Amino acid sequence: MITHDLTLLNIAVFVLIVFVTVLIAWHVIKTTVIQKQYDEIKKAKDDAESANSAKSRFLANMSHEIRTPINTIMGMNEMALREDASGVPREYYTAMRNYSLDIRNAAETLLSLIDDVLDMSRIESGKMRLVEQEYDTQKMLRSIVSMIRMRSIDKELTFDVSVDELLPSRLYGDQGKIRQILLNLLTNALKYTDIGGFSLNVSMPERHDDECLLRFSVKDTGIGIREEDIDKLFTAYERLDEEKNSDIRGTGLGLDISRRFAELMNGTLTCESVYGNGSEFILTLKQKIIDPSPTGVFTEHDESAANGPYVPQFIAPDADILVVDDTPVNLNIIKGLLKATRVFVTTASSGEECLEKIKETRFNVVLLDYIMPGMDGLETIAGIREIDPDLPVYALTANSANTEDFYISRGFTGYLTKPVDSIALEKAIMRHLPEEMMEK
């Protein structure tokens, strides 16, 4: 009996020793190996997150740095285009105007390249949003066609445009993204076609009371795409036949962004192609109808805009506008763009100066550069809001990565991107001027 008890005790002691040993071993493993692995994974995750946010910051900064000089180039060029040509020899004027139009084209291409890089990073970080607004159907298409027309003539390619006359004249949707997709498709048609030409066809397969389905087809007689490559087309950074196409510039981003934009708008972007014969890209999407009256025959040139001096959307000599920017050339550009409206422009070169001027004068609208040395746009707007909570203040920004909500939540009334578009600038100001102050 005693022997039996001793054996049981031995077993119990043995089990206890094993248990304690396992516990100690587990503790040692946990505190050393597992903890070490955990630390390593956490560090890798933290590193990846900080590298990603550094990339986003870098892209936003780069976009700002590149947009700032482009702003100067485009603004100055726009002023050259608007110069009064009376008394200038015709030939000289034509040559200068053509140079200016080429500068405008090149600057717009550069801008769309930066936008592509930024768009890609926004898509990758899930920050891409729709910016929907009302727009004039014919005007939107005209601006696209006129950008491509000159380049098709230079390359001696035909460019046929046919637009359904029954399209509603005003629609609601993200016209910026539609423009970007179509410009990308047309630019590709132009780049990858050497003989023959390409066409843009816009039709309306379906129409309901307040919504219509649009179909845009871009068809070319270019190099075409192999059947097995069609899926690769819409992959970021992927370019086909790199060796053969080495003289054609591109980043391989355009079609990937275009398809994602189409999907964001609940639309589709597809491609059909015969290698060696040409390709057709088809974009379909729905848009809300604002004004159902038909657009009528598509006219490529808006004659009123092409000839004669620039006609602003309003004239208001009694309006007081304050522009705040630390770069003198930017102040000159805004002044130049607003010259035709005859508004009175006061300038300030810092946040401090802006606050002083606001205390002295009641301005109708303030245009405030977002990034300035010393007191920046954010600090300045906070100061302005203490003095006057209702003053209309627009942020001027070369960083196109932030949405309107971002600026509104920080106290601004809205924002304008650099290079400043003179129509958007005039529209923003018009919104805050009393009717009796304006002559339209």
Q: Give the residues lining the site for ligand ADP (CB under 6 A).
A: 184, 188-189, 192, 220, 222-223, 225, 233, 239-241, 245, 250-256, 279
Least Å distance, CB 194 to ligand ADP, is 11
Least Å distance, CB 365 to ligand ADP, is 39
Least Å distance, CB 161 to ligand ADP, is 17
Least Å distance, CB 179 to ligand ADP, is 15
Least Å distance, CB 236 to ligand ADP, is 8
Least Å distance, CB 127 to ligand ADP, is 21
Q: Please, which residues bridge with residue 272 across strands?
A: 280
Q: Which residue is nearest to ligand ADP (CB)?
A: 250
Nearer to ligand ADP, 249 or 440 (CB): 249
Nearer to ligand ADP, 255 or 355 (CB): 255
Nearer to ligand ADP, 233 or 375 (CB): 233
Nearer to ligand ADP, 103 or 236 (CB): 236
Nearer to ligand ADP, 256 or 426 (CB): 256
Nearer to ligand ADP, 252 or 414 (CB): 252
Least Å distance, CB 270 to ligand ADP, is 13
Nearer to ligand ADP, 201 or 245 (CB): 245
Nearer to ligand ADP, 168 or 254 (CB): 254
Least Å distance, CB 196 to ligand ADP, is 12
